[in-house]
Copies of this chain bind each other. A is one copy, B any other.
Amino acid sequence: MNQDVTPTFRPLYQQIKEALLARVVSGEWSPGSFIPSESALSNQYGVSVGTLRKALDALAQENVLIRYQGKGTVVATHDSDRSLFQFFCLVGLDGKRSLPISRVLIRERRAATTEETEALALGTSEDVIHIRRIRELDERPALLEDLVVSARNFAGLEEQPSPLPNTLYHLYQQRFGRSVAHAEERIFAVAADDKDKGCLGVETGTPLLEIRRIAKDLQGNPLEYRISRCETHSHCYLNEL
């Protein structure tokens, strides 16, 4: 029986794709900047434009690059365009998306729990930075978020910058060079506890959505573990399949 452990074959455009990705990950090409043109790159790698284009298109498909006809190709950022909503699935009952406003309640550095250690793949007894905030939609509290990141990778986040921006992923990218590329969300139905009552203004026992998200970078390393609790009278979680 042939074990077939050998990959027997590896498309050129995939190798090119990985080489390009490496240059993004390494920071050689930073988010928001233009990368060399197709013809320049095809010369660099000694492949035809067509092959190189296939690699670029694949990376654009995965939201790593953004292509602009007539202008060039840029490394994707988290502030630009509609990529803001890539990780935000809450919509109004009418299907409209609106931008949440944040109010920070807690911002501290502390030891990681075992749950957080597992979710973030930390070493033993590492610290995390914990942020709790309320996010308002249409001027009413809609979301209670508790999120943690590794204190090692995000040193100083607990005190600076003093007003946290509304979109944290943009900050992770700009200030710490860590870009969230994928996320995995698990959704549960839970009953509101006293904390939820105080923060969201709902009765204790009210059914809430609990969304547990692990956000990962391009290589699949976990960057952030976030638990959101959300009341669903005027909003819901939307997923298109």
Contacts and interface: CB of A to CB of B under 8 A. Distances in A.
A189 interface: yes
B187 A237 contact: yes
Interface residues of A, number: 27
A173 interface: no
A2 B174 CA distance: 37
Given A205-B205, A207-B207, A208-B207, A239 B189 contact: no
Copies in the complex: 2
A241 interface: yes
Interface string A183-203: 111111111000000000000
B87 A182 contact: no
Nearest to A240: B184
A151 interface: no
A236 interface: yes
Given A207-B189, A209-B187, A182 B241 contact: yes
A86 interface: yes
Interface in A204-241: 205, 207-209, 230-232, 236-241
Contact of A239 (B187, B191, B207, B232): B187
Contacts of A230: 189
A12 interface: no
Contact of A207 (B185, B186, B191): B191
A240 B209 contact: no
A104 interface: no
Contact of A183 (B86, B91, B240): B240
Interface of A: 86-87, 89, 91, 182-191, 205, 207-209, 230-232, 236-241
